[in-house]
Structures are given as C-alpha cells and as structure tokens.
Structure 1
Amino acid sequence: MTHTLAPEWQALTTEPDGLSESPFWHPEENRLYWVDIPGRRIGRVRVQGVQPQGAVEYWPLTQEPGCIAPVQGGGLVMALRDGIYLAREWGGPLQALAAAPYDTSKLRFNDGKCDAQGRFWAGSMYEPRDQALGVLYALQDQALQDKAHAATTANGLAWSPDGHTLYWSDTASHCVRAWNFDPATASLSHERVFQQFPIKPAGWVWGDAAAPAYGGRPDGATVDSEGAYWSAQYEGKRLVRLSPAGEVLAVVETPVQCPTMPCFGGADLKTLFITSSRQGRSAAELGLYPLSGCIFAVRVEVAGLPVNFYR
C-alpha cells in the first residue's frame, strides 16, 4: 500500500537560490552544504534538528557548480562546467583534477556524488535538451571515464546500502535506471529500468485546473538505510520513496512545486533535507510558493546513509 504523507517542513533558508541542488550533510561540521547552479555559488549552514544555527554562508564561483562532495581531510570536490576541481578549504583556491570531456557551450556537469570507495561521479546534461547526449562519468585512475549514456539531463545518482546497485535517472525521459555495480572496479552491468514515471502530458501547464494530472519527473535522489530510493519529482510537488524492487512505498508532499534533491543528515541521519528551484517558474507559482529555491528540512522515521567522502 502506498502512503501519502504531508509533513510540516521547516525552511532552513529564506534567501532563495535560483536552483539549489546537490545537498549533503557534513557529519564533522554539523553543516548542510548545497549548490546554487545559476547563482554560481555554494551554500552552507549549520543545522540543529530542523533549525538553522547562524547565518547561511555562500562561496561565489566563476562557473556553474553541478555537484559537490566532501573531501577526506577537509575541503570540497566539485564539478564545474569545464571540469572537476578540488578545494582544500572553504573559499580556497581550486586545483583542476580533470577537464570536461565535452563541448562546454552545449553541455555542463549536473548531478553527482562520491561512491563508498571515494571515487567522484558526475553526470552531464545537454542544455538544448533535444538529444540524449548526457553521460555518467567517474573520476577513476586520474581520468574521467564513461560509465553510462543516453540521458538528456543526468540526475538521481545513488547506490544501494550494500554498494552493489547503482541508480541513475534521466529527468527528460522520466526514467530511473539501475545497474549491478562492482565496487572494486566501478564497472556497471545488467542495465534495467528501475522505475518509469508517466511522461508529462502534452500541453500541461502549472495552475491549469483543466490540465491532466501530472506527478512530476525524477530529479535528484538518495537512498535510505532500508535500501529505499527517494526521488525528488520536479514539478510534482512531492518525493517518491521506492522499494529496492521499484515499488512505490510512500509519496511525501513538499512545500514547493519543484523539489530538486533530497539527502539525509543530523546526528542520527533522520533529518530529511530537500533543495528546490524557482528558475523559470511562473509569477503565479512563485506567489503561491514564495520560498521556491530555498532549502527545507523535516524529521523522518527511517535513517539515511552517511555521505561518502572523496579520497
């Protein structure tokens, strides 16, 4: 049976980002980190429970950050438009690790994170959005290696708790795929469709009461300690919790129309955070959801998994 939940979300930020993404909880700092892609900045804030502690800090960048991950020993690894970079401290100089292997006038890095072995992964998105030219890359042996293809907008990267299943979504096709994953070699096999969400109805417009129902499309994702896959449904005003077999276990309503990515944090990993978007949304939608683009938190019953550090 599918459960629909409408929890009381707490806003952690009140200054909206254009498109916040790639959140992670840093257990050593009690901070939540994220990126604002069009704002070309990285944000962070200390959190206690579901309440911010102190001011939000922003680190301005010269390029769009698609995703970030913490580094063992301190710092961040980040995927910018033209490549992967390492910063040893907040606001510090960037060390280039790998150049982007694509045409940066049409593609950029989007969703990504580290695997349990400390390798950094990032998918690309094709900005004209009329071809599935996005690729999933892993930074392996000091080079970016192709791991999966055929996505227009790479999203939803996550691993099962045992590390033997990799999930990856293409937002444009509304599809989440899964592969068998070999942690030792980072190789993928046995590709299959994990969940195919209904395609957006032709002519669907937000706020049109006569428009067909639409549940959104899969954006960023995370996996909890029970192995369930949490998918943010962009334009769907919800998260969907899927079992390891792809069954819909729960639908969690969100306080904005366009949630972009969930993650778990807090000392017990039972605080669920979501990022969101306001970029390109209508004035009517933003009037109803003025905090679109902000970060939100809520307490949940099932713990998540700790973030993986880059090594």
Structure 2
Amino acid sequence: MTHLIYSDTACQLGEGALWHPETQVLYWCDILGKRLYARDAQGQRHWDFDRMVSAAGWIDDTRLLIASESDLFSFDTATATQTHICPLEADNQVTRSNDGRADPWGGFWIGTMGKAAQPGAGAIYRFYKGTLRLLYPDITISNAICFAPGGAYAYFADTPTGIIRRVTLDQEGWPAADPEDWLDLRDEQLRPDGAVCDGQGNVWNAQYGAGRVACYSPDGRFLTALGVAAAQTTCPAFGGADLSTLFVTSAAQGAAGNDPLAGQTFCVPTSVRGLAAHRVVL
C-alpha cells in the first residue's frame, strides 16, 4: 500500500481537495466539522464557519469561491473575510453542498445532497458569469465532478448508482447533449466518490470504502489503482511543484475500528502529471 500522510488531522468528512497552482497551497474541507484547512511548506492552518463547507475553487492568490450548505461565497484567506455570492438551496434545510470543481471556462460546478443522503434530494448546478443554473436534478450523492483536458467533457456521478457519467460540453462549457453512462462500477460494488482528470485525460476516482483511487482511460478502461491507508477515500487532487503528487482526503465518520488513519489526508507520488486547477472567474 502506497501512502504518505500529508496531514494527520482526522476530518469527520474530509472533502474538496484543491491544490492552488499559484500559491502552492493545498486546501480541503471537513464538511461535518464546518472547517476549511490549508497546508503548505510553512505549515497548516484552518478557518471555522457557522455552516458546512464542502468544496472550493481559487479566484486569486488569497480568495477562494467556497460552496456551503446554503450558499456560494468568496473567502479571503488573508483577512478571513466572507462575501456572499449567491444562495445554494438556501430555502431547503434538507440538503447541503457536496462535491464541486471549477471548469475550464472559469465556471464552478457544484453538487448537493440530502444531509441524511435522502434519495433524489440533491442536484448538480453550474455557477457561471454570476448565475447559478440547475443542470441535473434528482441526485442522491453528487460526486466525481471533473473535466477532460481542453473541456470536451464533464464527468459526474450519483454515488449510490455505481456509475460515472460523461457529458459533452459546448464552447461555453454548458452540456451539449444528454449525459451517457461512461463507467459502470456496479459489478465490482465500488462507490465512486470525488474524481480528477490528469493531463492525458485519464480519470482518477476515489472509491469510498475501497481505500484507493483508481485510474481509468478516457474510454473507461481500468489502468491502475493507488492504495491509501484509509478505507473511506473521498477526493483526489493533483498538486506539488510538478503536479505529479496525488493528494487524497478521507472520512473518519463511520470508519471501522481497524482504520486508525481514517479522516487523514494523504499524498501519493505518481508518474503522471495532473492538470492545474482552473481559476474561478467572478
């Protein structure tokens, strides 16, 4: 099993790994802990919020776009200042945000889910040019949002289905066709969680409960899997100076007693190069 512990902080539900390509900082969230973490060569710090936060995209050197259980807001890490951007199911107390990632056009895709994973309670949205638009309703656990190099496709999953879907995007990053089933993991009883693409267009998918991040070619062929020393892997992100380190968050909530590193964040050296996280344009 290949793993190095990047942060030994045990998150109840670690998610939203984001490597800032300009400042060389890794950000991640503890959704249930209502906390954003950051770590770089100078050490680790965190910020607490009054609501759950789950995913982020970078705006500039200090500001992030963060998805919470009720809104999208910008957050200045230098001043700890929040600026409300738009509501996100703010009138629905059942749901919260979950998986999200910036797209190549400066937009931000964000999924929601029921706080108790109520079937069909969530959805997937895109925030673009100041507007939040519903893309896909009736999602139970939104996950695996990522984008092919150049933006030809977006990927996403509803975890309980065991299927990662792929949709063709138009020149402004909007879905141009109906989504298609791209990778069916049901026979292996794998649960697709967060995902990220590398520079070759391969999809790296954290598989919750399996203690691994698995890599699939653009045509859906299994290529390899990297083992992580925590079963409940949640979200990968490529980072490091050459974008060849895979950072992986995990969850401690509900972990088995023989999973002592549950909730910690890992870094795994790879032989591939990832894509730099896209910038969010407000």
TM-score w.r.t. structure 1 length? Answer: 0.86
- Letter of the aligned partner of 2:199 in structure 1? S
Is the contact between residue 107 and residue 129 of structure 2 (CA under 8 Å) also seen in structure 1? no
Q: 2:47 aligns with which of 59, 82, 91?
A: 59
For residues 125 and 218 of structure 1, what CA distance do their matches in structure 2 show?
A: 15
Question: Deviation per CA, 1:201-254, whole angstroms, max 9, x where unpaired?
Answer: xxxxxxxxxxxxx65300000001111101100001111111111111112221
Is the contact between residue 146 and residue 195 of structure 2 (CA under 8 Å) also seen in structure 1? yes
Q: 1:145 aligns with which of 105, 108, 133?
A: 133
SS at match of 1:124: strand
- Number of the residue aligned with 2:267: 297
For residues 122 and 171 of structure 2, what CA distance do their matches in structure 1 show?
A: 23
Q: 1:167 aligns with which of 155, 174, 188?
A: 155
Residue 80 of structure 1 and its aligned partner are, at CA, apart by: 0.6
For residues 252 and 185 of structure 1, what CA distance do their matches in structure 2 show?
A: 30
Q: Over the residues paired in the alignment, what is the CA RMSD in angstroms? A: 1.7
Question: Deviation per CA, 1:247-277, whole angstroms, max 9, x where unpaired?
Answer: 1111222111111011101111111110001
- Letter of the aligned partner of 2:268 in structure 1? V
SS at match of 1:131: coil
Residue 124 of structure 1 and its aligned partner are, at CA, apart by: 0.6
For residues 145 and 23 of structure 2, what CA distance do their matches in structure 1 show?
A: 24
- Letter of the aligned partner of 2:34 in structure 1? R
Is the contact between residue 215 and residue 236 of structure 1 (CA under 8 Å) also seen in structure 2? no
Identity %: 28
For residues 255 and 183 of structure 1, what CA distance do their matches in structure 2 show?
A: 40
The reply to whether residue 187 of structure 1 matches residue 175 of structure 2 is yes
Residue 196 of structure 1 and its aligned partner are, at CA, apart by: 1.5
For residues 193 and 205 of structure 2, what CA distance do their matches in structure 1 show?
A: 7
1:198-237 correspondence runs (5 A)? 198=186, 216-237=190-211
Q: 2:81 aligns with which of 78, 85, 93?
A: 93
Q: Tell me which moved more, 95-104 or 35-44.
A: 95-104
Query: In terms of Rg, which structure is larger?
Result: 1
Name the CA shift for 1:180/1:220 in 2 (closer, same or farther; >3 Å).
Answer: same
Residue 27 of structure 1 and its aligned partner are, at CA, apart by: 2.2
Q: 2:26 aligns with which of 20, 23, 32?
A: 32
Name the CA shift for 1:186/1:44 in 2 (closer, same or farther; >3 Å).
Answer: same
Question: Deviation per CA, 1:107-142, whole angstroms, max 9, x where unpaired?
Answer: 111100111111122111123434223211111242
- Equivalent pairs counted in the alignment come to 281
- Letter of the aligned partner of 1:105 in structure 2? Q
SS at match of 1:172: helix
Q: 1:14 aligns with which of 8, 23, 33?
A: 8
SS at match of 2:226: strand
Residue 73 of structure 1 and its aligned partner are, at CA, apart by: 5.1
For residues 208 and 156 of structure 2, what CA distance do their matches in structure 1 show?
A: 15
Structure 1: runs of 5 or more not aligned:
1-5, 47-52, 200-213
Question: Deviation per CA, 1:144-172, whole angstroms, max 9, x where unpaired?
Answer: 10112332000100010120100001111
Poorly superposed stretches of 4+, deviation over 6 Å: none
For residues 90 and 160 of structure 2, what CA distance do their matches in structure 1 show?
A: 20
Residue 13 of structure 1 and its aligned partner are, at CA, apart by: 1.2
For residues 61 and 252 of structure 2, what CA distance do their matches in structure 1 show?
A: 34
Structure 2: runs of 5 or more not aligned:
none
The reply to whether residue 308 of structure 1 matches residue 282 of structure 2 is no
Is the contact between residue 76 and residue 90 of structure 1 (CA under 8 Å) also seen in structure 2? no
